[in-house]
Structure 1
Protein backbone atom coordinates (compact mmCIF):
# COMPACT_ATOMS: atom_id res chain seq x y z
CA UNK A 1 0.00 0.00 0.00
CA UNK A 2 2.85 2.43 0.77
CA UNK A 3 4.29 1.91 -2.73
CA UNK A 4 0.92 2.70 -4.34
CA UNK A 5 0.70 5.95 -2.37
CA UNK A 6 4.19 6.87 -3.59
CA UNK A 7 3.24 6.32 -7.21
CA UNK A 8 -0.08 8.13 -6.92
CA UNK A 9 1.26 11.30 -5.30
CA UNK A 10 4.88 11.94 -6.29
CA UNK A 11 4.99 12.02 -10.08
CA UNK A 12 6.32 8.48 -10.12
CA UNK A 13 5.43 5.71 -12.54
CA UNK A 14 5.25 1.95 -12.14
CA UNK A 15 5.79 -0.20 -15.25
CA UNK A 16 5.41 -3.94 -15.77
CA UNK A 17 6.62 -6.27 -18.48
CA UNK A 18 4.19 -7.62 -21.07
CA UNK A 19 4.40 -11.01 -19.34
CA UNK A 20 3.78 -9.41 -15.90
CA UNK A 21 6.94 -11.04 -14.57
CA UNK A 22 8.82 -7.83 -13.74
CA UNK A 23 8.15 -4.38 -12.30
CA UNK A 24 10.14 -1.16 -12.40
CA UNK A 25 9.13 1.94 -10.48
CA UNK A 26 10.61 5.24 -11.56
CA UNK A 27 10.77 8.91 -10.89
CA UNK A 28 11.85 10.57 -14.13
CA UNK A 29 12.97 14.15 -14.50
CA UNK A 30 14.37 15.89 -17.56
CA UNK A 31 17.98 14.70 -17.21
CA UNK A 32 17.89 11.79 -14.80
CA UNK A 33 15.83 8.84 -13.68
CA UNK A 34 15.64 7.33 -10.21
CA UNK A 35 14.79 3.64 -9.96
CA UNK A 36 12.58 3.31 -6.90
CA UNK A 37 11.67 -0.36 -7.31
CA UNK A 38 13.01 -3.10 -9.55
CA UNK A 39 11.88 -6.67 -9.23
CA UNK A 40 11.50 -9.79 -11.32
CA UNK A 41 9.55 -12.87 -10.28
CA UNK A 42 11.90 -15.67 -9.12
CA UNK A 43 11.15 -18.09 -12.00
CA UNK A 44 12.02 -15.30 -14.48
CA UNK A 45 15.24 -14.12 -12.85
CA UNK A 46 18.66 -14.46 -14.49
CA UNK A 47 17.10 -14.06 -17.95
CA UNK A 48 17.94 -10.40 -18.59
CA UNK A 49 14.46 -9.05 -17.83
CA UNK A 50 15.59 -6.37 -15.37
CA UNK A 51 18.27 -5.20 -17.81
CA UNK A 52 15.70 -5.08 -20.62
CA UNK A 53 13.44 -2.91 -18.48
CA UNK A 54 16.28 -0.43 -17.83
CA UNK A 55 17.22 -0.34 -21.53
CA UNK A 56 13.58 0.30 -22.41
CA UNK A 57 13.44 3.27 -20.04
CA UNK A 58 16.63 4.67 -21.61
CA UNK A 59 15.21 4.20 -25.14
CA UNK A 60 11.91 5.86 -24.25
CA UNK A 61 13.57 8.83 -22.53
CA UNK A 62 16.46 10.05 -24.69
CA UNK A 63 17.05 13.15 -22.53
CA UNK A 64 18.12 11.06 -19.54
CA UNK A 65 21.80 11.56 -18.81
CA UNK A 66 22.09 9.30 -15.77
CA UNK A 67 20.13 6.82 -13.70
CA UNK A 68 20.36 6.43 -9.94
CA UNK A 69 19.18 3.70 -7.61
CA UNK A 70 19.61 3.07 -3.92
CA UNK A 71 19.89 -0.60 -3.14
CA UNK A 72 21.07 -3.23 -0.69
CA UNK A 73 24.00 -5.62 -0.69
CA UNK A 74 21.96 -8.35 -2.38
CA UNK A 75 21.08 -6.26 -5.47
CA UNK A 76 24.21 -4.13 -5.86
CA UNK A 77 25.87 -6.90 -7.91
CA UNK A 78 23.12 -6.68 -10.55
CA UNK A 79 23.57 -2.94 -10.91
CA UNK A 80 27.36 -3.24 -11.13
CA UNK A 81 27.06 -5.92 -13.85
CA UNK A 82 24.78 -3.56 -15.79
CA UNK A 83 27.44 -0.86 -15.60
CA UNK A 84 26.37 1.22 -12.61
CA UNK A 85 29.05 2.57 -10.28
CA UNK A 86 28.23 1.94 -6.64
CA UNK A 87 29.03 3.99 -3.57
CA UNK A 88 28.56 2.57 -0.08
CA UNK A 89 26.28 4.88 1.89
CA UNK A 90 26.53 5.75 5.58
CA UNK A 91 24.32 3.49 7.69
CA UNK A 92 20.67 4.57 7.50
CA UNK A 93 19.29 1.47 9.17
CA UNK A 94 20.87 -0.74 11.84
CA UNK A 95 22.72 -3.77 10.44
CA UNK A 96 21.87 -2.82 6.84
CA UNK A 97 24.35 -1.84 4.15
CA UNK A 98 22.99 0.43 1.42
CA UNK A 99 24.54 1.58 -1.85
CA UNK A 100 23.91 4.44 -4.22
CA UNK A 101 24.27 3.18 -7.78
CA UNK A 102 24.83 5.61 -10.67
CA UNK A 103 24.73 4.85 -14.38
CA UNK A 104 25.82 7.45 -16.94
CA UNK A 105 23.83 6.98 -20.12
Structure 2
Protein backbone atom coordinates (compact mmCIF):
# COMPACT_ATOMS: atom_id res chain seq x y z
CA UNK A 1 0.00 0.00 0.00
CA UNK A 2 1.20 3.47 -0.72
CA UNK A 3 0.15 6.85 0.57
CA UNK A 4 -1.27 9.19 -2.04
CA UNK A 5 -0.03 12.76 -1.73
CA UNK A 6 -0.13 14.12 -5.30
CA UNK A 7 -1.95 17.45 -5.61
CA UNK A 8 -3.64 16.14 -8.78
CA UNK A 9 -6.05 13.22 -8.53
CA UNK A 10 -5.28 10.38 -10.93
CA UNK A 11 -8.05 8.94 -13.08
CA UNK A 12 -7.75 5.59 -11.26
CA UNK A 13 -8.22 7.15 -7.82
CA UNK A 14 -11.01 9.37 -9.12
CA UNK A 15 -12.83 6.27 -10.39
CA UNK A 16 -12.36 4.42 -7.09
CA UNK A 17 -13.50 7.36 -4.98
CA UNK A 18 -16.61 7.65 -7.15
CA UNK A 19 -17.62 4.19 -5.81
CA UNK A 20 -17.42 5.54 -2.25
CA UNK A 21 -18.93 9.01 -2.60
CA UNK A 22 -21.02 11.04 -5.01
CA UNK A 23 -19.14 11.66 -8.24
CA UNK A 24 -19.57 15.42 -7.90
CA UNK A 25 -17.85 15.28 -4.47
CA UNK A 26 -14.75 13.32 -5.54
CA UNK A 27 -12.52 16.36 -6.22
CA UNK A 28 -13.58 18.05 -2.98
CA UNK A 29 -12.91 14.91 -0.92
CA UNK A 30 -9.57 14.28 -2.63
CA UNK A 31 -8.47 17.84 -1.84
CA UNK A 32 -9.14 17.17 1.87
CA UNK A 33 -6.75 14.19 1.77
CA UNK A 34 -4.02 16.33 0.25
CA UNK A 35 -4.56 19.43 2.42
CA UNK A 36 -5.63 18.22 5.86
CA UNK A 37 -2.96 16.68 8.11
CA UNK A 38 -5.64 14.63 9.92
CA UNK A 39 -6.51 12.77 6.69
CA UNK A 40 -4.60 10.13 4.74
CA UNK A 41 -5.39 8.28 1.54
CA UNK A 42 -3.75 4.99 0.56
CA UNK A 43 -3.98 2.86 -2.55
CA UNK A 44 -3.16 -0.74 -3.40
CA UNK A 45 -1.90 -1.98 -6.73
CA UNK A 46 -2.10 -5.41 -8.32
CA UNK A 47 0.08 -5.95 -11.40
CA UNK A 48 0.82 -2.20 -11.53
CA UNK A 49 -2.90 -1.32 -11.61
CA UNK A 50 -4.53 0.66 -8.81
CA UNK A 51 -7.35 -1.62 -7.63
CA UNK A 52 -8.36 -0.10 -4.30
CA UNK A 53 -8.09 2.86 -1.98
CA UNK A 54 -8.87 3.67 1.61
CA UNK A 55 -9.13 7.12 3.12
CA UNK A 56 -9.14 7.84 6.83
CA UNK A 57 -9.45 10.74 9.18
CA UNK A 58 -7.54 10.48 12.45
CA UNK A 59 -9.57 11.66 15.43
CA UNK A 60 -6.50 11.37 17.68
CA UNK A 61 -3.42 9.14 17.86
CA UNK A 62 -5.46 5.97 18.59
CA UNK A 63 -8.78 6.45 16.74
CA UNK A 64 -9.63 6.79 13.07
CA UNK A 65 -12.69 7.05 10.87
CA UNK A 66 -12.78 5.34 7.50
CA UNK A 67 -14.10 8.07 5.24
CA UNK A 68 -13.84 6.13 1.97
CA UNK A 69 -13.03 2.56 1.04
CA UNK A 70 -13.31 1.35 -2.54
CA UNK A 71 -12.27 -1.68 -4.53
CA UNK A 72 -12.71 -2.30 -8.25
CA UNK A 73 -15.78 -4.55 -8.63
CA UNK A 74 -13.80 -7.39 -10.25
CA UNK A 75 -11.38 -7.43 -7.29
CA UNK A 76 -13.99 -7.56 -4.51
CA UNK A 77 -14.30 -10.59 -2.28
CA UNK A 78 -10.55 -11.29 -2.32
CA UNK A 79 -9.69 -9.85 1.11
CA UNK A 80 -8.35 -6.53 -0.17
CA UNK A 81 -10.66 -4.43 2.02
CA UNK A 82 -9.70 -6.38 5.13
CA UNK A 83 -6.00 -6.13 4.32
CA UNK A 84 -6.30 -2.35 3.90
CA UNK A 85 -7.95 -1.98 7.31
CA UNK A 86 -5.31 -4.23 8.90
CA UNK A 87 -2.57 -2.17 7.24
CA UNK A 88 -3.97 1.08 8.67
CA UNK A 89 -4.35 -0.31 12.17
CA UNK A 90 -0.77 -1.60 12.22
CA UNK A 91 0.89 1.34 10.47
CA UNK A 92 -0.76 3.93 12.72
CA UNK A 93 -1.11 1.83 15.89
CA UNK A 94 -4.86 2.47 16.02
CA UNK A 95 -7.05 1.04 18.80
CA UNK A 96 -10.47 1.99 17.39
CA UNK A 97 -11.77 2.33 13.84
CA UNK A 98 -15.16 3.78 12.94
CA UNK A 99 -17.12 3.95 9.71
CA UNK A 100 -20.56 5.07 8.64
CA UNK A 101 -22.03 3.07 5.80
CA UNK A 102 -25.14 1.86 4.01
CA UNK A 103 -26.99 -1.44 4.13
CA UNK A 104 -25.01 -2.88 1.21
CA UNK A 105 -21.57 -2.36 2.78
CA UNK A 106 -22.49 -3.06 6.42
CA UNK A 107 -22.05 -6.80 5.74
CA UNK A 108 -18.37 -6.25 4.92
CA UNK A 109 -17.74 -4.42 8.19
CA UNK A 110 -19.69 -7.01 10.21
CA UNK A 111 -17.71 -9.85 8.62
CA UNK A 112 -14.45 -8.07 9.55
CA UNK A 113 -15.58 -7.87 13.19
CA UNK A 114 -17.04 -4.39 13.49
CA UNK A 115 -19.97 -3.85 15.86
CA UNK A 116 -22.76 -2.29 13.81
CA UNK A 117 -25.58 -0.02 14.96
CA UNK A 118 -28.39 1.30 12.80
CA UNK A 119 -28.57 5.08 12.61
CA UNK A 120 -32.00 4.82 11.02
CA UNK A 121 -33.06 6.54 7.84
CA UNK A 122 -30.48 9.31 7.88
CA UNK A 123 -31.24 10.24 4.26
CA UNK A 124 -34.65 9.83 2.65
CA UNK A 125 -35.16 6.10 2.10
CA UNK A 126 -31.57 5.21 3.03
CA UNK A 127 -30.71 3.48 6.28
CA UNK A 128 -27.21 4.21 7.56
CA UNK A 129 -25.07 2.26 10.02
CA UNK A 130 -22.33 3.17 12.45
CA UNK A 131 -19.60 0.53 12.52
CA UNK A 132 -16.97 0.34 15.25
CA UNK A 133 -13.98 -1.94 15.59
CA UNK A 134 -11.95 -2.05 18.81
CA UNK A 135 -8.56 -3.70 18.71
CA UNK A 136 -7.95 -5.78 21.78
Indicate the TM-score class for this superposition, using the shorter chain for normalisation: over 0.9
Q: Distance in 2 between matches of 1:8 and 1:92?
A: 28
Give TM-score, length-normalised by structure 2: 0.72
Partner of 2:129: 99
- 1:89 corresponds to which of 110, 116, 119: 119
Q: Distance in 2 between matches of 1:52 and 1:96?
A: 28
**Which runs of no fewer than 5 residues in structure 2 stay unpaired?**
1-26
Give 1:90 deviation, angstroms.
3.5
Residues 89, 95 of structure 2: 8 Å contact kept: no
Partner of 1:26: 56
Give 1:78 deviation, angstroms.
0.2
Superposed structure 1 runs of 4+ greater than 3 Å apart: none
Partner of 2:21: none
RMSD: 1.2
Larger radius of gyration between Structure 1 and Structure 2 = 2
- 2:67 corresponds to which of 36, 39, 49: 36
How many residue pairs get matched? Answer: 104
DSSP 3-state at the match of 2:88: helix
Superposed CA deviations along residues 64-83 of structure 1, whole A, max 9, x for unmatched, are 21100000000000000000
Query: Does residue 17 in structure 1 map to residue 48 in structure 2?
Result: no
Give 1:58 deviation, angstroms.
1.1
